[in-house]
Amino acid sequence: MKKEIEKMRSAELYYYSDEEVLVSAKHAADVCARLRTMSVCDEAYRATIEDLIPGVPKSVTVCPPFHCDHGSGIVLGEHVFINCNCVFLDAGYIRIGRHTLIGPNCQFYTSQHPMDHVERREEKETAYPITIGEDCWLGGNVTVCPGVTIGDRCIIAAGSVVVHDIPADSMAAGCPAVVKKNRTEK
């Protein structure tokens, strides 16, 4: 039988009040609270970000303040830059490819509550992964919804809400975000 945290990472319905899930969330909350008191220049910054996001490459910058649910659900490629005030609700995995730039106040939501109002009263949800390709640029205040994939080399305009997949080499904007142009066309 799967543990609740395994269900969480597998896009299955899970109970977020499970003890193991809560321990993970508490660890992330504590580390994020420490990050709020420092900058990327502080001596303790690198050790703190590595405590929060296991395996984070040395070339990655995550500007405080930063908030996430677990940290262990975040997978970042080399040379990723995440500006300040970003929120990563990483019950599902959030994967960001190499050389991608994330503007300030961006939000990544993997959690999805049940649609049925009676089911929503229970402490359960699903979490669908978010994948951002390599060499992307997300402007400030972009929101990415559960289960979305953004292809390589995309630009997402500031303030956009991405609710559907965006193909590689696209420029997308709006609420909801739609492809405005394919960047490989002249």
| Burial class, 62, CB count within 10 angstroms (exposed 0-12 / middle 13-18 / buried 19+) | buried
Is 164 assigned a catalytic role? no
Per the CB < 8 A criterion, the answer to whether 108 and 88 are in contact is yes
| Burial class, 175, CB count within 10 angstroms (exposed 0-12 / middle 13-18 / buried 19+) | exposed
Please give the structure tokens belonging to residue 133.
């390709």
Terminus-to-terminus CA distance in the chain, angstroms? Answer: 54
Active-site annotation holder among 27, 99, 113, 117: 113
- Helical (H) or strand (E) element with 61: strand 61-62
- Distance CA(59)–CA(40), nearest Å, equals 12
Residues serving a catalytic function are 113
